[in-house]
């Protein structure tokens, strides 16, 4: 392995601390007294020893294994990483602590987006993921007290539901004009110098800042060709969400300084004001701050100022219910996206058997409902379930294929011989036949439920 070869090339004469010494090591960072005027955290040097301590490294390794994921450019799988770490732990620790470690380039992976474009992800090697995760485990407790309440993405005990509830609260209070800030290719355009400057304000161990800088500059392998990464950072790295929040916490602090009401989840920021005139003024000022102070680019074409009932935020939208109460619903685009996914799963030429179909449907439906469960979507759920059962009947009808098999199956389900003969011999399309009343009586909703086919209502109502 290249990691081993690099570790063994390092200078001799350095005695790294053993695991017992690491376990007994005192905390290497201190929190100053936080007041209204000074909410800062001072970090002493020797932070790297805490990061590369035995217990922290093993904990990071277990986390990487549990996350699974693809291999990096060196081909090592997550199954191989624990034995490798245990065998070469001291070598890796010495190399990292002495500042000699060189991260590998990430492997480019492209994921299709809803708008037809592709999101570029970078997959680090599993060793780099372990080291990044070890940094996250030490740095997160340092930065968490710095982050503001209105930041909900990639944080402990924070989630999308809380973000949506806070947005709902602002709208209910009359802040019903929303500025949606769109950062153009945020992860790909983060200014390294600015990020390092922000990190250095808190992290006083230069080796840690230097290692993060090395990860930023590690480069990417795309189709076997190496590309430099002079701006931005990989979305696939374990430390990327933390770095993102550290950078955008500067935006949060500016919004708070201006006494604005806002919600941020990762790089999705929504600002709530009471008038369009205020919105235009705020949008102009915040755009200037983002571009001049944070060195990021705002996509003016996608940045919008809209009434709260017209926005789409994290897949949700808002409406005015009876009594002027603000309600939450699933945005129509996300309902369409969900149905497209169901169509893909139940595609009649997919070739998967009933068991696999049930499993895929259950996993998707459970996850979808769990994400959108805070929305008022009873009507959507019941309507979708009716459509879904039709899709399943169509899938079953297609799988029976031959008229003889169809007659036999229908008769077994209680359909008269005459009707079974007519249905099985029909030249109508699969979708039309599977929607006939006799088909609904033969393959009832209860039979589908007993057979293990899921419904949205099961997880929502």
Confidence of residue 348 (pLDDT cuts 50, 70, 90): confident
Confidence of residue 126 (pLDDT cuts 50, 70, 90): very high
Q: Which helix (H) or strand (E) holds 327?
A: strand 326-330
Write down the pLDDT at residue 70. 84
Write down the pLDDT at residue 20. 36
Non-local (6+) Cβ contacts of 207 within 8 A are 47, 48, 97, 99
DSSP state of 218: S
Write down the pLDDT at residue 43. 62
> What are the boundaries of each domain within the chain?
2-147+184-245, 331-460
pLDDT tens sequence across 393-419? 999 999 999 999 999 999 999 999 999
Least confident of 61-70, 190-199, 271-280, 378-387: 61-70
Write down the pLDDT at residue 37. 34
Region 368-392: mean pLDDT is: 98
pLDDT tens sequence across 169-214? 999 999 999 999 999 999 999 999 999 999 999 999 999 999 999 9
The answer, yes or no, to whether residue 22 has pLDDT greater than 70, is no
Sign of CA dihedral 94, 97, 99, 104: positive
Q: Are 237 and 225 in contact (CB under 8 A)?
A: no
Single pTM value for the model:
0.86
Write down the pLDDT at residue 32. 33
The answer, yes or no, to whether residue 74 has pLDDT greater than 80, is yes
Confidence of residue 3 (pLDDT cuts 50, 70, 90): very low
* Residue 422 tokens, joined: 């007519």
Confidence of residue 44 (pLDDT cuts 50, 70, 90): low
Write down the pLDDT at residue 11. 30
The answer, yes or no, to whether residue 6 has pLDDT greater than 90, is no
Write down the pLDDT at residue 29. 38
Confidence of residue 69 (pLDDT cuts 50, 70, 90): confident
Q: Please tell me the distance from the alpha carbon of residue 256 to that of residue 145, in angstroms, as a whole number.
A: 15
143-149, long-range: CB < 8 A, 24+ apart: 143/41, 143/202, 143/242, 143/245, 143/246, 143/249, 145/31, 145/34, 145/39, 145/41, 146/39, 146/40, 146/41, 146/202, 146/249, 147/245, 147/249, 147/252, 148/249, 148/252, 148/253, 148/256
Region 317-331: mean pLDDT is: 96
Q: Please tell me the distance from the alpha carbon of residue 367 to that of residue 389, in angstroms, as a whole number.
A: 19
Give SS3 for 274.
coil
- Strand duo 261-265 + 225-227: pairing: unpaired
The answer, yes or no, to whether residue 119 has pLDDT greater than 70, is yes
pLDDT tens sequence across 231-251? 999 888 999 999 999 999 999
Region 419-423: mean pLDDT is: 93
What rounded mean pLDDT belongs to the chain?
90
Confidence of residue 270 (pLDDT cuts 50, 70, 90): very high
* Residue 14 tokens, joined: 């350095």
């Amino acid at each position: 392995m290249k990691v081993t070869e690099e570790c063994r090339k390092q200078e001799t004469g350095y005695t790294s601390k053993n695991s017992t010494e690491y376990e007994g090591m005192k905390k290497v960072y201190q929190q100053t007294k936080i007041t209204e005027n000074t909410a800062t955290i001072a970090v002493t040097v020797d932070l790297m020893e805490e990061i590369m301590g035995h217990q922290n490294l093993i904990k990071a390794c277990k986390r990487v294994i549990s996350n699974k994921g693809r291999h990096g450019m060196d081909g090592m799988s997550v199954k191989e990483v624990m034995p490798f770490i245990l065998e070469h732990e001291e070598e890796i620790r010495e190399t990292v602590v002495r500042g000699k470690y060189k991260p590998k380039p990430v492997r480019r992976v492209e994921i299709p987006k809803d708008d037809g474009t592709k999101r570029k992800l970078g997959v680090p090697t599993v060793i780099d993921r372990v080291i990044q995760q070890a940094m996250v485990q030490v740095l997160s407790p340092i930065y968490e007290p710095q982050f503001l309440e209105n930041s909900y993405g990639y944080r402990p005990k924070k989630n999308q539901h809380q973000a949506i509830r806070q947005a709902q609260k602002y709208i209910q209070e009359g802040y019903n004009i929303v500025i949606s800030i769109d950062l153009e290719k945020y992860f790909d355009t983060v200014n390294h110098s600015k990020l390092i400057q922000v990190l250095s304000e808190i992290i006083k161990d230069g080796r840690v800042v230097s290692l993060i800088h090395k990860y930023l500059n590690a480069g990417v392998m795309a189709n076997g060709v190496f590309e430099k990464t002079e701006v931005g950072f990989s979305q696939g790295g374990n430390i990327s969400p933390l770095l993102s929040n550290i950078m955008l916490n500067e935006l949060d602090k500016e919004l708070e300084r201006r006494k604005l009401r806002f919600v941020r989840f990762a790089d999705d920021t929504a600002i709530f004001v009471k008038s369009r005139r205020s919105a235009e003024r705020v949008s102009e000022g915040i755009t200037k701050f983002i571009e001049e102070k944070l060195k990021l680019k705002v996509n003016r074409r996608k940045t919008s100022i809209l009434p709260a009932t017209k926005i789409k935020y994290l897949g949700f939208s808002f409406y005015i219910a009876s009594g002027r109460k603000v309600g939450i619903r699933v945005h129509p685009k996300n309902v369409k996206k969900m149905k497209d996914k169901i169509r893909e799963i139940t595609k009649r030429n997919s070739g998967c058997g009933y068991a696999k179909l049930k499993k895929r449907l259950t996993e998707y439906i459970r996850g979808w409902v769990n994400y959108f469960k805070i929305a008022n979507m009873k009507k959507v759920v019941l309507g979708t379930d009716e459509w879904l059962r039709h899709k399943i009947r169509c899938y079953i009808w297609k799988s029976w294929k031959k008229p003889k098999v169809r007659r036999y199956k229908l008769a077994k389900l209680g359909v008269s011989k005459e009707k079974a003969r007519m249905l099985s011999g029909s030249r109508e399309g699969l979708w039309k036949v599977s929607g006939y009343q006799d088909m609904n009586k033969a393959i009832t909703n209860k039979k589908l439920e007993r057979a293990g086919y899921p419904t949205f209502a099961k997880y929502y109502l």
